[in-house]
Amino acid sequence: MPTGRYLLESQSTGDVDPRERADFWSEHIASYQSRMGYRYAHPDNFRGETVRQRSHNYQLVRFESDEIEYSRTAQQIRQTPDEDYRLLLPINGRILLRQDDEVAHLTPGSAALVTFGAPFQCLQEDRTLAYIFTIPAREIDGPLCRKSPLASGLDLTRGLGGVVRSMLNGLHEERHALTDSQFDAVSDRIVELLCMLVSGDDRPDAPGHLTEVEALARRYVRDQAADPGLTGTSMAHALGWSLRQIQLALQRVGTTPRDLIREERLRLVRDRLQCAECDHMTITELAHASGFSSASALSTAFRRRFGVCPREMRRGAG
């Protein structure tokens, strides 16, 4: 298995005494999911198995088990807060899900997005095989600009939904060959497409959505331009979007995260060169205070953008 933060593990009740299998299953699920209640139809000889993939950001579990009901109460939510979402997709069998006065009947190919931040009941029939994909709340709430309630009836049999299902299958099938960054990269794309499905917008351009992303990205870069650690990735993380979403939004207006950051830094330097309060700063100090790695890097980019070097612009301003 590839090294790094990527975790891959399998568990089965088959190696456990039949009388202890229900307790084993409860402890196993509790080791990687937040606190829940468990009600077994046949606790004396419960059968179940899981294949779990996890990175620092995402988790995908493919599981199969006998009939069981999971529940999460308001008290359990207070004891172990968890605002993250789970995408639940049966492969075989049926799942009944209740949350926020909504009821979802999930069959193979239909999925639901459920939050662990609200009480729910989840009843699955005997020998159900399914995926449960854990998604950080910021990856859903940010793009949708709201806290998402239970989103059920997501069709993952065709169109954009079929692509999502195919990518989930691919993550599982290639689990032994993936690295942490590869697992996260595919998961990012899945979440991006999932947000389009939940919002009812499966168009890749989504003009209104991308316009909002562009505006937020520009504002953030303007405020953080002096930070030498500012990158497209750090901006995406801070804003709660995927890097791909920001790239698409900026591509529509002919720029990239890197170009936008450089442009804002150059404007910052230009303004400081023309400001009397910054006369005491050397060009090297200006470069470092404006996010550039060196005076030479600043001078090269500045001349390319404004046609003069920083010293010439300062003399002109004086």
Which three-class secondary structure string do you get for the chain? CCCCCCEEEEEEHHHCCHHHHHHHHHHHHHCCCCCCEEEECCHHHCCEEEEEEECCCCEEEEEEECCEEEEECHHHHHHCCCCCEEEEEEEECCEEEEECCEEEEECCCEEEEEECCCCEEEEECCCEEEEEEEECHHHHHHHHCCCCCCEEEEECCCHHHHHHHHHHHHHHHCCCCCCHHHHHHHHHHHHHHHHHHHHCCCCCCCHHHHHHHHHHHHHHHHHHCCCCCCCHHHHHHHHCCCHHHHHHHHHCCCCCHHHHHHHHHHHHHHHHHCCHHHCCCCHHHHHHHCCCCCHHHHHHHHHHHHCCCHHHHHHHHC
Tell me, yes or no, whether 63 and 152 share the same domain. Answer: yes
The CATH number given to whatever domain includes residue 228 is 1.10.10.60
Tell me, yes or no, whether 195 and 259 share the same domain. Answer: no
Q: And the tokens for 33?
A: 């999911």
Residue 55 lies in a domain: yes
Residue 54 lies in a domain: yes
Where does the pLDDT of residue 5 fall: very low under 50, low under 70, confident under 90, or very high at 90 and above?
A: confident
Tell me, yes or no, whether 216 and 235 share the same domain. Answer: yes
Per-residue pLDDT at 90 exceeds 90: yes
Distance CA 127, CA 46 (A): 11
Tell me, yes or no, whether 228 and 192 share the same domain. Answer: no
Per-residue pLDDT at 29 exceeds 70: yes
Given 174, 199, 224, the domain boundary residue is 199
Give the burial class of 89: count Cβ atoms within 10 A of its Cβ; 0-12 exposed, 13-18 middle, 19 or more buried.
Answer: buried
Q: pLDDT, tens digit, for every residue of 257-304? A: 999 999 999 999 998 998 888 889 999 999 999 999 999 999 999 999
Owning domain of residue 252: 207-317
Contact 248, 214 (CB under 8 A): no
Tell me, yes or no, whether 43 and 139 share the same domain. Answer: yes
Tell me, yes or no, whether 73 and 50 share the same domain. Answer: yes
Q: pLDDT, tens digit, for every residue of 199-221? A: 765 444 455 667 778 888 999 99
Residue 1 lies in a domain: no
Task: Please give the pLDDT value at position 239.
Answer: 80
Task: Please give the pLDDT value at position 2.
Answer: 41
> What's the pTM value of the predicted model, to 2 decimals?
0.64
Where does the pLDDT of residue 142 fall: very low under 50, low under 70, confident under 90, or very high at 90 and above?
A: confident
Where does the pLDDT of residue 149 fall: very low under 50, low under 70, confident under 90, or very high at 90 and above?
A: low
Number of structural domains in the chain: 2
Q: And the tokens for 266?
A: 């150059």
Tell me, yes or no, whether 179 and 63 share the same domain. Answer: yes
Contact 253, 246 (CB under 8 A): no
Tell me, yes or no, whether 167 and 211 share the same domain. Answer: no
Tell me, yes or no, whether 217 and 287 share the same domain. Answer: yes
Tell me, yes or no, whether 122 and 179 share the same domain. Answer: yes
Residue 2 lies in a domain: no
Tell me, yes or no, whether 211 and 158 share the same domain. Answer: no
Per-residue pLDDT at 229 exceeds 70: yes
Task: Please give the pLDDT value at position 300.
Answer: 94
Per-residue pLDDT at 102 exceeds 90: no
Tell me, yes or no, whether 181 and 165 share the same domain. Answer: yes
Residue 79 lies in a domain: yes
How much is the mean pLDDT over the chain?
A: 88
State percent of the chain over pLDDT 90: 65
Task: Please give the pLDDT value at position 245.
Answer: 79
